Every structure is written in structure tokens, then in C-alpha cells.
């Protein structure tokens, strides 16, 4: 009986810890422009790679945050490798573009990773990128 309780407890712990949300950070890499926009994604800036990336969605700040309103949607294949950076519009090996990419023009944008991470940024008239404080706070469901 004790062995059965041990295994039920061990299995419950394993399920709970594997389903726990992973807090990650998402940011714009220095030197990015509208023509070459690079996102950093790690457990923290300078931290380890994100094993489960999930989906990265880039949308206009005033646009739909769900459905067809995205500028670009990138998703991880089942066995896609860990990554630390991704360039807008370019699906690395083990990932696929689900929607877009649409051209980035001057305006406000948000990028959200389903496993955690939100960045808001402005694209200026000269195509430079300015990371700004997000208007919303987002945490992965857990």
C-alpha cells in the first residue's frame, strides 16, 4: 500500500511540475531595424535557452491579438530545438511560419510568446526600433 501511495505521489508531482508555466523574457535585440528585426528569447536576459517556445505572435498594438490580425505567427514543431534568438519572418529549423510575415511599417507592435514573454516596440519613420514599456501585462496560463 505504501509503495502504491509513493508512486501516485511521484506521478502527481511529475505531472504538476511538467505542466507548470515557464516564465521567459522576450526583447528586441540591439541594432534591430524594421528590415532586420531580431527577438531575444531566454529564461532571462543572459539566461538559458527556452526549451519550449510554443508560439510567437507579432501584432500591431491596435490590431487584433487573436485570429488573422497577426503580422507574423511562428510556431515550434513537436521536436523543435531550443532557441535564443529569432529573426522576424524567418522560421529556424524545427519551427514554421503559420501566418505572414507581413511588412513591418512605422507604428506600434507587440510580440508575445505563449510560454512567457511580452515585448512592445515602436517602429519609427527611419525604420529604427524603440522598445517601450508594454501597455498590458501578460503571463502564461499555468
Average pLDDT over residues 85-109: 95
What tens digit of pLDDT does each residue of 27-67 get?
A: 999 999 999 999 998 866 666 666 677 899 999 998 776 67
Query: What confidence score (pLDDT) does residue 50 get?
Result: 67
For the chain, give every domain's residue range.
22-132
What tens digit of pLDDT does each residue of 19-36 get?
A: 444 578 899 999 999 999
Please say whether the beta carbons of 54 and 100 come within 8 A: no
Tell me which of 2.60.40, 2.40.50, 3.30.1560, 3.40.50 is the CATH number of domain 22-132.
Answer: 2.60.40
What is the C-alpha to C-alpha distance for residues 50 and 92, in angstroms, rounded to an integer?
14
What is the C-alpha to C-alpha distance for residues 122 and 135, in angstroms, rounded to an integer?
12
- Report the 3 state secondary structure along 107-141: EEEEEEECCCCEEEEEECCCCEEEEECCCCCCCCC
Confidence of residue 17 (pLDDT cuts 50, 70, 90): very low
With a cut of 60, say whether residue 2 has pLDDT above it.
no
Amino acid at each position: 500500500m505504501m509503495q502504491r501511495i509513493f508512486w501516485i505521489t511521484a506521478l502527481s508531482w511529475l505531472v504538476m511540475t511538467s505542466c507548470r508555466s515557464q516564465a521567459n523574457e522576450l526583447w528586441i535585440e540591439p541594432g534591430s531595424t524594421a528590415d532586420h528585426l531580431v527577438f531575444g528569447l531566454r529564461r532571462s536576459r543572459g539566461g538559458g535557452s527556452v526549451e519550449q517556445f510554443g508560439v510567437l505572435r507579432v501584432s500591431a498594438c491596435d490590431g487584433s491579438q487573436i485570429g488573422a490580425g497577426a503580422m507574423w505567427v511562428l510556431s515550434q514543431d513537436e521536436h523543435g530545438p531550443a532557441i535564443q534568438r529569432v529573426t522576424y519572418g524567418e522560421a529556424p529549423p524545427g519551427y514554421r511560419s503559420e501566418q505572414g510575415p507581413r511588412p513591418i511599417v512605422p507604428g506600434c507592435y507587440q510580440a508575445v510568446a505563449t510560454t512567457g514573454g511580452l515585448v512592445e516596440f515602436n517602429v519609427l519613420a527611419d525604420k529604427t526600433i524603440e522598445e517601450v514599456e508594454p501597455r498590458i501585462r501578460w503571463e502564461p496560463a499555468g
